[in-house]
Structure 1
């Protein structure tokens, strides 16, 4: 780490970009990773692309990078498994560490961590999928979602007139056929909002308006299926509350680099209608992703964002050498 890359103020680094893997979010991770790799190369860094497989530790050791940019989404790249491996190897990496990753990917543990500190989150409970075929766990409408998945993977909204049946039929397609345990939460009517945090700064609020249905995996990553209103056209005090909650959740969970907090807001109830749904510790970095979009809205281009995340991962080492600017 002796030479400096041109525009970002970082020394020229050898970065292993870890992407792909075998989770349901593999395609998104590959897009995120390739975007990150190209941005780093544009700033003069040396990049080794690694599509994660079972030999990933040996491949990282062979590459011997200065730092790993973790562009994985889902398990095992976002749940603490890869973080623990890199901790044992002594290699710095981007985004949150082991303990934070274990908690944040688990929606039940996240609630147990945040709700006692006054973070408003929906109620609900964990249910065995087989029990759904006997009766509803909550009054309809309610939401069923996997406990340990992101990107709205496997989410089902159960209403009075849905096609799932009453009770839910075991032969109908839904998350109960893929996961043994699910989180059941009351359905919150209203608007989908999200806030990105980078370092110690909450950026802005985006409203997500799906063209049809709700903001599921396909709506997130298919061009044209969701309108992003950035900044969201909401009252100033609601925007300020979203940003405050996102930053508090980021700090309480111990997030590093960047995170993204997702909300539902029942606009008929004002501040009492705002609920945090989850905190994503490794949000997407694709062309359609929300964190790069919010960064642009705040005057930070994509390569600046990538380098800011990288600098946060190396902050202690770089500060010793006087080689890093303050957090964005």
Structure 2
């Protein structure tokens, strides 16, 4: 029996990139990398920018599956996944509910807390919060603290507040992007991230990456463009702590219903090596500076093989209604 080629196995593939979110620039870089990798392996892959093309064209043009390289809103928040479910086109990464929960940092934390998983203390502020409410949050959580736009990624809409006088400016930065603001306890320590692959009992963690940015400032520039940020992979942790953090990453991933692939971000508190869950990315970056490819390389998996592995996991999340037939 002849073994099918990758092109035959995977069919016509759309690489979704660009989009309308604040992370468009990064998404374009991710998508271009994935597209080149898939084509290098003989896959019939085509770039597709939902900001410039109608999603219905995916069905009209006979795409068999898609690799989602979109980041942020309209790509990572469940809206795109819902459209692909309606079109019946298998896609990479988690399904509708898992993406919606994961994209909302506040909801992620609530789910993790319900599972007894560690995450920094937090409070939620409405966009019309008064100065007195801002002061109350600073008093309750202590300073410094973090203010975050709950539905953004790539460090967009995030402010570290070191003093009460900085609260208003930090809050104003966040409400440029969102209607609510997540105020989060600041955890001083080491920044770690853990890619996870698979679904259910088959979900497994890849090597941990430690991020060391200049002055601890892992902002948009240092994340995607700077050569000053250091990445250590596998992270220099003892075997027991490594296993504990990887296990927590898989638990956090499963708790939100994730499948396919994702990346779980942590802070490791310096005073006691206690890990705290920050957020999960359901369509992680795939650029030259991205962390999932770096972790995969440490596990002996090339960028090209990683793209193929992720694409092979593409599926539809929703099962057809039993007995349903068109009228």
TM-score between the two structures when normalised by the length of structure 2: 0.88
Aligned to 1:298: 299
8 A contact 1:12–1:44 mirrored in 2? no
Aligned to 2:4: 4
Q: What does 1:108-127 correspond to in 2, within 5 Å? A: 108-127=106-125
Q: Which moved more, 1:48-57 or 1:60-69?
A: 48-57
Q: What does 1:40-189 correspond to in 2, within 5 Å? A: 40-53=38-51, 55-131=53-129, 133-134=131-132, 135-136=134-135, 137-138=137-138, 139-160=142-163, 165=165, 168-169=168-169, 174-189=173-188
1:51-87 Cα deviation digits (max 9, x unpaired): 1126422321232111011110000111110000000
1:146-204 Cα deviation digits (max 9, x unpaired): 111112211101012xxx8255259x972244433100011110110111111122011
8 A contact 1:3–1:12 mirrored in 2? no
Is structure 2 residue 205 aligned with structure 1 residue 235?
no
In structure 2, how many angstroms separate the alpha carbons of the residues matched to 1:230 and 1:291? 11
Structure 2 spans left out of the alignment, 5+ residues: 318-327
8 A contact 1:4–1:12 mirrored in 2? no
In structure 2, how many angstroms separate the alpha carbons of the residues matched to 1:167 and 1:12? 50
CA RMSD of aligned residues (A): 2.3
Is structure 2 residue 311 aligned with structure 1 residue 310?
yes
Q: What's the CA shift for 1:234?
A: 2.0
Are the structure 2 counterparts of residues 235 and 95 from structure 1 closer, same or farther at C-alpha, using a change threshold of 3 Å? same
TM-score between the two structures when normalised by the length of structure 1: 0.87
**Secondary structure, aligned partner of 1:212:** helix
**Secondary structure, aligned partner of 2:300:** coil
In structure 2, how many angstroms separate the alpha carbons of the residues matched to 1:71 and 1:166? 35
How many corresponding residue pairs? 307
Structure 1 spans left out of the alignment, 5+ residues: 317-328
8 A contact 2:161–2:167 mirrored in 1? no
Are the structure 2 counterparts of residues 258 and 17 from structure 1 closer, same or farther at C-alpha, using a change threshold of 3 Å? same
